[in-house]
Amino acid sequence: MGKLAVIRLRGGIGSHHSIRDTLRHLRLESKNACILIVDTPSVRGMLHKAKDYITFGEVDDAMVNLLYAKKSRPYLGRIKDAKGKEDFSRRFREVNGKKIMPFFRLANPRGGFERKGIKVGFNAGGALGDRGKDINRLLEKMINNDDIHGNEIISGKGTK
């Protein structure tokens, strides 16, 4: 069983409440949010239910390392409550000794999505549904677009 990368491509306006609940359980709250998840039959069922709002596929180890290196955000919240009873370990993931958020926020892909857009399945020339190994190419486009355009503006350091 390998790892799957799941990216939410469409918003939730007009969607059925059960699909919104499924996306919430997958921690895909906003567009261009990405998660890494282990491939199990129950996860496949959830992905099949939300296939009209997400794209997913098998991710390589090199792409996983690139996501952790470039797009991970540190978890700054509490680990336990004030009384020490409730554990908040579900809110973060520990990787290489660092506590990070369990999802990644990505930019729109450089060069756009596939020809028919985000309302058509991947097999029909669109962007939705199961991509298989082609998810790595989409992730690379989304990570590199953010590096080229977003970081200089957000940090306040201009190129001039």
Q: Domain-by-domain residue ranges, the chain?
A: 3-73+101-155
How much is the pLDDT for 16? 92
Give the model's pLDDT for residue 90. 65
- The predicted pLDDT at position 112 comes to 85
Residue 57, strand partner residues: 5
Q: How far is CA 89 from CA 37, 78, 110, in A?
A: 16, 9, 34
Higher per-residue pLDDT: 59 or 69: 59
Distance CA 125, CA 113 (A): 10
pLDDT, tens digit, 9 for 90 and up, residues 101-115: 788 888 888 888 888
Question: Rounded to two decimals, what is the model's pTM?
Answer: 0.80
Q: Identify the DSSP state of 95.
A: E
Residue 159 has pLDDT above 60, yes or no: no
| 2 pLDDT higher than 80 | yes
Helices (H), the chain: 17-25, 41-49, 61-71, 135-155
What is the residue-averaged pLDDT of the chain? Answer: 82
CATH homologous superfamily for the domain 3-73+101-155: Ribosomal protein L30/L7 (3.30.1390.20)
